Amino acid sequence: MKKPTAGGAVSTVVDMGTEALSAAVSVARRAGEAIRPGASHAQETEPRWHVMTVCASADEVAPGGKLPEPLARLGDAIDTQLRPAPGDRGTELASRLHDKEHAGPRGTSERETGDDPVQELRTALREAKALVETGEILLPDWPPTNRPTVTGRPLDKMIEKARGGGRL
């Protein structure tokens, strides 16, 4: 009687590993192709639209055509559109900077010094959404949960900057 060899099981495992690796490479390649065209906004000639869905009707978002105070404060520097959100889920509030000089990516130094008008627009959109939905501008860092220590100060600064970028 001939003993069974482990070669059959080993080759099956190797084949499965090869197929899994091939599938992973294929997925990564497709993901890279999907990301690549939109990854850089360096060629943009028009400022980008920034859109928020507000859980309110257009009349509640801009009563009498008057924008919420955070956006109204930007005045003629922005273009704004209101449109129904998909699925009857409120109103899409879209804004962009009017000036074409602000198209494309912003530099790190502009973001860090607070001189980036795109960050200001994004902050105004978030504040407008909060104002319409809750009646107040909610602050992520108040009341503070950390102590004013050496390690707490960098966290405070990061939270302050996150309001314009939407993330830490």
- Per-residue model confidence as pLDDT tens digits over 103-137: 555 544 454 555 678 889 998 999 999 999 999 98
Is the confidence at residue 5, as pLDDT, over 60? no
10 Å CB burial of residue 62 (0-12, 13-18, 19+) is buried
- Per-residue model confidence as pLDDT tens digits over 36-83: 444 455 566 678 999 999 999 999 999 999 999 999 999 999 999 999
95 backbone φψ class: left, alpha, beta (φ>0; ψ -120 to 50): beta
d(CA 144, CA 115): 25
d(CA 7, CA 35): 42
Q: Which residue has the higher pLDDT, 148 or 107?
A: 148
d(CA 51, CA 95): 6
**Tokens linked to 35:** 């990301």
At residue 157, the pLDDT reads 77
d(CA 110, CA 118): 10
In the chain, what percentage of residues exceed pLDDT 90? 38
